[in-house]
Chains A and B, each alone.
Chain A
Amino acid sequence: MQETKAIEIKGLNFFYSESGEKILNNLNLTVQNGEIISILGSSGCGKSTLLFCLNGIVPKLIKGIISGDIQVYGKNVNDFSVHELSSDIQIMFQNPESQFFTFNVRDEISFGLENKGFDETQIKQEIESVSKLLNIPHLLDRSVEELSSGEKQLVILASLIAMRPKILVLDEPTANLDPIRTKKLKEILKEINKKYQITIIVVEHDLDFVDISQRILFMKDGRLKKYEGELNDNYSPGCKPKIIPETILKIKNLHYKYDKKEILRGIDLELLKGEVLGIVGSNGSGKSTLAQNIMGLLKPTEGEIVFRGKNVVKLPVNLIAKSIGYMFQNPDYTLFENTILDEVKFGAKKVGLKENETEKEALQMLKEFGLTLFKDTDPDNLSIGQKRRVNIASLLLMKPEIIILDEPDTGLDRINSVKLMELLCLANQKELTVVVISHNLNLIKNLCNRIIFIDKGEIVDANHYSEFLNQNVIS
């Protein structure tokens, strides 16, 4: 007889042995077979820990003290290994890059099937069927390295679905996706749920998947409850940029080619002092490439980038960095010092600011950014939101005139996104020009006085981008 309950959790408690922090607190959950549910909650509330409890990763591979009962299709999770439970439940991690084992797409899909003991004919059939379902037959013979982030996610999804799990769990699947790709992913999930009766659990910071979910749950204080609009508070009162009518940066007919492919095609852009500019576009449209050209990390094949009347195209990055700050998407790329205070001072020292002044200003900056308590903490022990704040504080202390932030809200929950916006507004009031690259239209709309859209390496008219605008906007 088909089990109707996919998951049943009773009185689940979990502590990390090292920190003693209680992550899950008498948590109860029942998921019916074939349901799609969304679990929302802020960063660090225990959503991912809960997911890892479902297939035994917690506590078998991630150690801690666990109590309570977890049943997956009537099986007690404690009695089975992660490997044995893989037939029932598959998890797609937030970063698809961490789940690739092979060089090419076909091998990647067959990896899990081989582990399950499928023979060659069955593997071929499964690959064909799942690639058709996800519309990726054209990717099958491609190298993993050549795929875009959206394609990588689809390939991992195909690899997981091919194993025909009864439950599919997705941990923040839209973190690296633009609204168009998010919409496509939702359509795919709806289809696989319908076709294979797979139970789907999506964990998110935001409300991206609520429209396809039959149930929405909210996680707080280690427990789950019915979602009652906790995330509906508006983003912030918005930012009123202090614009001075003085051109600070002028980009003229900028072209950039990589591997014979034209990534930027004649960008013309003027930036006024004190502006807060939002750059929006789909994955791979050329947004980050534009920013990296401005920073001198990439050299344009044609065109000019004029900062305060001087063409900076040929200047080295360390000189440009004195006037223009750039924050990478991954906050871990820069953190290496032993303490937050040293980390914040690093860039300032490099641009030649005096040690005693830097120390004083760094402490003030940490205070403004709510990081004073952590000044002697190892950066590695911070949350992603705190790491981003350290990144921005470090850049601001270098006293640039322009700051460019590449997807600053990736992986951030609503509270941290709002905090970030407030800090950027505060910095802007001190006449800093801010450029924000993001998929999050809520953030962009609230923060920026001007938004430009980039599509296939060109700035396009906002009206032509209506599809982008009409999606994912919760106001």
Chain B
Amino acid sequence: MSSLKIYEYYNSNSVMHKINPIVKIIWLAVFSVLILASNNLYYIIALLIITLMAQTLTKIPIRALKQYIAYLFFFLILSFVLIVITRENFIIGILFLLKVSILIISAVQFTLTTTQKELLVSLIKLKVPYSFAFTLTIALRFLPTIVKEAKEVMDAQRTRAHKLIFNILKPAMSVRSYIPVIIPLFIIIFNRSFELSLAAETRGFTPKIYEKQKLKFGFIDFCVLLILSCLLFLFFRF
């Protein structure tokens, strides 16, 4: 199986896919606040267990995510070591490791189980200004395109004998070396966005259609909100 893209919807009929997207947004928002606000190791471990259980419910094969897991693992270990060395505190390192893992896994679960349209409809129903909601959903779609264009621009400048430098110890020099990449990339993205706005008009885009769409609220959604309420209660209780 080819690896998945974490910003793209994974088509499946799992329980997680069936949850009302507005409930998913509320869950993600509240859950993130709880993760960041709590420093109780047991509470954080409980959140991790819930997140991993949710992951099994998505029916997304872990091996399809192995590439990202490898990156995440590398980043986490590196951060953990740095924190333990600089703060001389093992528990802070562990907490950081768990918190970042839960946040990333939850966000990825959301993008993999929510269609672009569901996200747009939910945001419009949550009274987010439609221009912002539309821009956000389109930005997700354009991430891979921008990454591809950035690579091409970098290659093009390298073929002009330009050396791209990435050195943490020499930030000014690194930034300077990327100016020939950043400027053309910005111009390309700006032109693309303009063309896209024209295309949206010609394809008859109108927020009214999305305002009218209905999102079902069912038993699963009730259960999700109940679990979230329990977590909130536990957070304030302890």
For residue A145, which residues in chain B have a CB less than 8 angstroms away from its CB? 5, 144-145
A336 touches B179 (CB 8 A): yes
Given contacts A98-B192, A332-B184, contact A57 B202 (CB under 8 A): yes
Residue among B187, B198, B209 with most chain A CB within 10 A: B198
A351 touches B152 (CB 8 A): no
B159 touches A321 (CB 8 A): yes
A321 touches B160 (CB 8 A): yes
Given contacts A143-B5, A159-B203, 17 further A-B contacts (CB under 8 A): A86-B204, A87-B204, A90-B203, A100-B141, A101-B199, A102-B116, A102-B117, A103-B141, A145-B5, A297-B155, A322-B161, A326-B159, A328-B152, A336-B183, A350-B160, A350-B162, A350-B163
Q: Judge if B15 is at the interface, Cβ distance under 8 Å.
A: no
B195 touches A93 (CB 8 A): yes
B163 touches A103 (CB 8 A): no
Name the distance in Å between B10's Cβ and chain A's nearest Cβ: 10
CB-contacts of A332-358 with B (<8 A): 332-336, 346-347, 350-351
A115's nearest neighbour on chain B, judged by CB, is B204
11 A–B contacts, CB within 8 A, in A order: A57-B202, A82-B201, A87-B204, A112-B204, A115-B203, A163-B204, A334-B153, A334-B160, A336-B179, A395-B160, A398-B160
The residue that A107 contacts in the complex, of B116, B152, B159, B200, with Cβ under 8 A, is B116
A346 touches B160 (CB 8 A): yes
The residue that B201 contacts in the complex, of A86, A116, A321, A325, with Cβ under 8 A, is A86
For residue A199, which residues in chain B have a CB less than 8 angstroms away from its CB? none
Please, how many angstroms separate the alpha-carbon atoms of A321 and B158 in the complex? 8
B158 touches A115 (CB 8 A): no
For residue B161, which residues in chain A have a CB less than 8 angstroms away from its CB? 318-319, 321-322, 347, 350-351, 398
Q: Judge if B75 is at the interface, Cβ distance under 8 Å.
A: no
Please, how many angstroms separate the alpha-carbon atoms of A197 and B113 in the complex? 41
A347 touches B160 (CB 8 A): yes
Q: What's the dominant secondary structure at chain A's contact region?
A: mixed
Name the distance in Å between A453's Cβ and chain B's nearest Cβ: 25
B197 touches A333 (CB 8 A): no
For residue B163, which residues in chain A have a CB less than 8 angstroms away from its CB? 318, 350
Q: What's the dominant secondary structure at chain B's contact region?
A: helix
B184 touches A336 (CB 8 A): yes
For residue A159, which residues in chain B have a CB less than 8 angstroms away from its CB? 203
Name the distance in Å between B9's Cβ and chain A's nearest Cβ: 6
Given contacts A107-B115, A332-B188, A333-B153, contact A57 B159 (CB under 8 A): no
Q: Judge if A33 is at the interface, Cβ distance under 8 Å.
A: no
B159 touches A116 (CB 8 A): no
Q: Mark B188-219, 1 if CB is under 8 A from A, else 0.
A: 10011001111111111110010000000000
Give me the interface of B with A, judged by CB distance under 8 Å. Answer: 2, 5, 8-9, 11, 115-117, 138, 141, 144-145, 152-153, 155-163, 179-180, 183-184, 187-188, 191-192, 195-206, 209
Q: Judge if A317 is at the interface, Cβ distance under 8 Å.
A: yes
B196 touches A98 (CB 8 A): yes
Q: Judge if A1 is at the interface, Cβ distance under 8 Å.
A: no
Q: Judge if A16 is at the interface, Cβ distance under 8 Å.
A: no
B157's nearest neighbour on chain A, judged by CB, is A334
Q: Chain A: how many interface residues by the 8 Å CB criterion?
A: 59
The residue that A330 contacts in the complex, of B138, B152, B209, with Cβ under 8 A, is B152
Residue among B2, B152, B183, B202 with most chain A CB within 10 A: B202
B160 touches A394 (CB 8 A): yes
A334 touches B200 (CB 8 A): no
Q: Judge if A374 is at the interface, Cβ distance under 8 Å.
A: no
For residue B196, which residues in chain A have a CB less than 8 angstroms away from its CB? 98-99, 101
Residue among A90, A95, A103, A321 with most chain B CB within 10 A: A103
For residue B160, which residues in chain A have a CB less than 8 angstroms away from its CB? 321, 334, 346-347, 350, 394-395, 398
A-B interface, 8 closest residue pairs, ranked by CB to CB distance from nearest: A98-B195, A333-B156, A350-B161, A336-B183, A86-B204, A347-B160, A115-B204, A321-B161
Please, how many angstroms separate the alpha-carbon atoms of A334 and B154 in the complex? 9
Please, how many angstroms separate the alpha-carbon atoms of A321 and B141 in the complex? 34
For residue A93, which residues in chain B have a CB less than 8 angstroms away from its CB? 195, 198-199
Q: Judge if A373 is at the interface, Cβ distance under 8 Å.
A: no
Name the distance in Å between A295's Cβ and chain B's nearest Cβ: 6
Q: Judge if A83 is at the interface, Cβ distance under 8 Å.
A: yes
